[in-house]
Chains A and B, each alone.
Chain A
Amino acid sequence: MPFIKANGIEFHVQEMNRGADKIIVLIHGMFANLSMYYFKIAPQLAKHYHVVMYDFRSHGMSQKAKTGFDLISLTDDLVSILDQLNVKSFYLAGYSYGAIVALKMTTRFPEKVNELIVIEAPDPGVTDVLEQTIDFQQLAEYAHGDNAVSEQKLIGKRQLEKYKRSFTQLMDESSAKQDMFDQKDFFKNNLIDRINQRTLLLYGLSSDCKDACNELYDKIPNSSALFLDGDHRLPIQHPDKVAEEIEKFLLHEL
């Protein structure tokens, strides 16, 4: 299994079609992992691009960490991983909190990011943003094993224990929740207005985050917005369509 040590953490990294000239980096959302891209979206993009995916610290198969879920640390992680892969410039796509990381990456390292795809980025300044994008109640129910999903045996005992450990580690034993709340002024940061990269804002028609899309559309001069059937879980609901729209955008067909 490919692991890269960056900023003192062992990160799980996956690549597809390493021989391609153009590189696209995919960033997953909070409490998710690279598997959200691995089975459908990444293989489709890998027909033409070298795809790089990684698990955030304390996510998927990456090493656990007690701190470092703020945007500076998370973008430092990505830069360090890409440096070790000798990736100098790339197209960048992120989902949910991963899209916020992608925006931060673009403001911090504009010379590295060729074009940007923002999928379902929430506004961290909206007080219930976490509730918009992460169902904490459901996660807690998973962790306590009293959710209807577990009763239906859609998730077994070992997975339940695994969720419980991950949830406890992230929410109670790390700075993740506080670090996410601390990014509340990110959309007010005028650096977003200076993003010059061609940017696609990809949202679900039924998404709770559509206001964030409108705000980003107003702020990012070279942006276009596209709404597809679905809600905040758009890449999970319609991965083929999401991959197709990303490809079209990168081919300048959008």
Chain B
Amino acid sequence: MDQITKQTELSKDEIFVLLRTFIIDVIGEEFIEASEIQLNSSFTRDLDMDSIEMVAFSEKVKNYFGDEIDFTAWLSGLDLDQIIELNLSEIVNFIESCLS
């Protein structure tokens, strides 16, 4: 799942399902079930992820999409408070906008 690949045909739902897989990989399936991860889930408040888990998640996104999206630049443009409050739909929308 961490291989760089071209995925320009992904729909919004498919991006969400993919990111959900990344989150389960990072947190561990013993701690979270797929049904608990919703499009409007916030990474810290709802998914209880800390900053180093966010790093692991970001790396999975970057490794998967490669040069198709500049995830680092997008994240660094957010304030720390915005990163803390970030929810899954914001990332899905960003990735979709890069792929379209």
Cα A43 to Cα B76 with chains together (Å): 6
Contact flags (1/0) for A12-52 with B, using CB distance below 8 Å? 00101000000000000000011110111001101000000
Shortest distance between the CB of A78 and any CB in chain B (Å): 19
Q: Which of the listed residues A38, A162, A239 has the most CB atoms from chain B within 10 Å of its own CB? A: A38
Q: Which residues of A contact B40 (CB under 8 A)?
A: none
- Does any Cβ of B come within 8 Å of A158's Cβ? yes
Q: How many residues of A contact B (CB 8 A)?
A: 26
Q: Are A39 and B83 in contact (CB under 8 A)?
A: yes
Q: Are A157 and B48 in contact (CB under 8 A)?
A: yes
Q: Which residues of A contact B27 (CB under 8 A)?
A: 158
Q: How many residues of B contact A (CB 8 A)?
A: 21
Question: Contacts A34-B55, A153-B45 hold; do A158 and B31 have CB atoms under 8 A apart?
Answer: yes
Question: Contacts A1-B59, A153-B45, A158-B31 hold; do A35 and B80 have CB atoms under 8 A apart?
Answer: no
Shortest distance between the CB of A10 and any CB in chain B (Å): 14
Chain B residues at the A interface, C-beta cutoff of 8 Å: 2, 27, 31, 44-45, 48, 50-52, 54-56, 58-59, 72-73, 75-76, 78, 80, 83
7 pairs from A and B in contact (CB 8 Å cutoff):
A1-B2, A16-B72, A35-B52, A39-B55, A39-B80, A153-B45, A158-B27
Given contacts A34-B52, A157-B48, A159-B48, 14 further A-B contacts (CB under 8 A): A1-B2, A1-B59, A33-B51, A33-B55, A35-B55, A38-B51, A38-B58, A39-B54, A39-B83, A43-B76, A61-B56, A154-B44, A158-B31, A236-B80
